[in-house]
Amino acid sequence: MADLECDFLIIGSGIAALRAALDLDGAGETLILTKGGAAQGSTAFAQGGIAAAVGAGDSAALHAADTIVAGAGLCRAAAVQALTEQGPRYVRELLDWGARFDREPGGEAALAREGAHSVRRVLHARDATGREICRILWKRIAGCPRVRVIEHALAVDVAVNGARCTGARFLDDRGRLASVTAAATLLATGGAGQIFRETTNPSVAAGDGIAMAYRAGARVADLEFVQFHPTVLDVEGAPRFLLSEALRGEGAVLVNAAGERFMQRADPAGELAPRDRVARAIARESQRTDGRVYLAMDHLEPAFVRARFPTIADACRRAGLDLARDRIPVGPAAHYIMGGVDVDLDGHTSVPGLLAAGEVACTGVHGANRLASNSLLEGLVFGAVAAGAMRRWAAEHGRPRPAPPAPPAPAGGDRAPAAPAGLSERAARDLMWRDVGLFRDGPRLTRALETLDAWAAALEPAARAPAAARLASIVTVGRLVARAALRREESRGAHYRSDFPERNDIDWTRHVTESKGRVTAVDAGEAGHVRN
């Protein structure tokens, strides 16, 4: 494919990307590159819903307070304020565009309850909210003549000329390397769940955006905070399908192999405690009883369960289980990364001309633990905000000169090079799950890092080969997560160290960023991010 030019380059096609693209349409030529099919990504799989303070008795202040409690002392107040105050407006816009969310008989939005929310505030389209949001956003994009989408285009590097981001290099659907020059570039590449063996994330969520930004010199932040969803279908041979927290919101309970409930013992909030606490309680109960843990809803009306959760009921049926009557074996899996590419409130990263929004970015809105259903809202709000910032940046700086061509890939770059000894995608994901997962400690993290460092060094020449891009992302992001987890000698939110089981507010109420090996800590109370 020939090299391309545009005003606005967006990498990714999830909620953050699409919402940004809609606000860029009138301002110039926009190009969306997405590595799989257009709808591949976490957004399309989102189940529980999108949180927004639209109900009677709710308010932005209450939503903010819940978000901050879940974030365990590390939320950035200004980001939370932006999310919770602007959220309702963007959600109403989706409704105005025709989103078919569930409604009460009186016509008002039906609101679900999820863990750590003090009121019902989750709008949903039964248990396939993401699919409905994608439908409506893609319908709007179809009416934007200046937005072009290239599918099966794998971005492999952010291009930087001088200090400025000038676009990106990508592999097209035939594996040919091409480059795009753009006035402003938005990373909207989603999460990194695939760096762990057990994950709810689709295969495209391999942390590419974090790895590309880090290689380009951008700051990344708070990467130790990985959320493990407590209830993922755990049947041998079946996909790790998410069993939405909304099930517990509607009354589903967790039981051990003897049929006993245990959550009340583990946490006063029981089944609706924040995810990190439920996930660890499940793992501990399973260890204590040397048995499985199950989600049970046989005490609920079967017709209600099947009608409210048709997608989940279907996935269970494919695994030979009846959601409404059987006990469903569950276990935790990596679900969401709170850290990411460090951005300010407009979405600017520390590399001029490069912005980030959605799960790949770290605005600090989620702190150490994301409140359920705040992520779709984050993509919507901060995607739109980033579009405004891109327009302003482009108007001020114009299109750049293209970056010099990348050094040629090693011979055989279109074929996967031989991996260094012991390294395979499977080995890396196993290692991350075993040693950098739900329970962490210094000796295991140190050992994991030694292996990851050796792999990264040996992978270095091969990593420039496009065919090694995925493995390079997994190892790069895996190392960053492990390094951050080793540094933080306390337990907070989703980060749990068995050798430092207490939260330590005196030493650790701080965000830690890293860029090209330079580590900086910023007190969480400080107003903004480290500025350039």
Residues designated as active site: 275
Q: Which long-range contacts (CB under 8 A, 24 or more apart) does 82-85 make?
A: 82/345, 82/365, 82/381, 82/382, 82/385, 83/365, 83/374, 83/377, 83/378, 83/381, 83/382, 84/53, 84/60, 85/60
Residues 4-23 that bind ligand FAD (CB under 6 A): 11-17
Residue 373 binding ligand SIN, by CB under 6 A: yes
Least Cβ distance, residue 245 to ligand SIN (angstroms): 3
Nearer to ligand FAD, 203 or 498 (CB): 203
Q: 84 or 375: whose CB is closer to ligand SIN?
A: 375
Closest to ligand SIN by CB, 168 or 372: 372
Question: If DSSP states are collapsed to H, E and C, what string results for 60-89?
Answer: HHHHHHHHHHHCCCCCCHHHHHHHHHHHHH
Q: Answer yes or no whether residue 364 interacts with ligand SIN by CB under 6 A.
A: no
Cβ atoms of 34 and 205 within 8 Å: the answer is no
Nearer to ligand FAD, 15 or 266 (CB): 15
Q: Which of 10, 33, 64, 195 binds ligand FAD (CB under 6 A)?
A: 33
Please, what is the minimum distance in Å from the beta carbon of residue 136 to ligand SIN?
A: 19
Query: What values do phi and psi take at 359, rounded to 5?
Result: -65, -30
| Residue 513 contacts ligand FAD per CB under 6 A | no
CB closer to ligand SIN, 124 vs 391: 124
d(CA 234, CA 292): 9
Report the C-alpha gap between 292 and 482 in whole angstroms: 28
Count the residues of the shown chain that bind ligand SIN, applying the rule CB under 6 A: 8
Q: Determine how β-strand 340-342 pairs with β-strand 30-33.
A: unpaired
43 binds ligand SIN (CB under 6 A): no
Do the beta carbons of residue 64 and residue 81 sit within 8 Å? yes
CA angle 271, 235, 304 (to 5 degrees): 50
**b/e burial code for range 175-194 (CB count within 10 A of at least 16 → b):** eebbbbbbbbbbbbbbbbbb
Binding ligand SIN (rule: CB under 6 A), the pick from 7, 66, 222, 245 is 245
Query: How far, in Å, CA of 46 to CA of 38, rounded?
Result: 16
What's the rounded Cα separation, in Å, for the pair 321 and 376? 29
- Contact pick of 350, 373, 513, 515 for ligand FAD (by CB under 6 A): 373
Q: Cβ of residue 190: shortest distance to ligand FAD, in angstroms?
A: 2
Q: Is 47 in the site for ligand SIN (CB under 6 A)?
A: yes
Nearer to ligand SIN, 244 or 451 (CB): 244
User: Can you point out the beta strands (E) in 34-141?
Assistant: 50-51, 111-112, 122-123
Residue 231 C-beta: closest distance to ligand SIN, Å: 7
| Rounded-to-integer distance, Cα 440 and Cα 255, Å | 25
**478 lines the binding site for ligand SIN (CB under 6 A):** no
Query: Per CB under 6 A, which region of 9-17, 240-248, 276-284, 317-325 contacts ligand SIN?
Result: 240-248
The reply to whether 349 sits near ligand FAD by the rule CB under 6 A is no
Contact of 452 with 432, CB cutoff 8 Å: no
Of 372, 438, 452, 468, which lies in the binding site for ligand SIN, with binding defined by CB under 6 A?
A: 372
Q: Which residues bind ligand SIN (CB under 6 A)?
A: 47-48, 244-246, 372-373, 375
Q: Which residues bind ligand FAD (CB under 6 A)?
A: 11-17, 33-36, 40-43, 45-50, 129-130, 154-155, 188-191, 200-201, 204-205, 208, 242, 336, 358-360, 373-376, 379
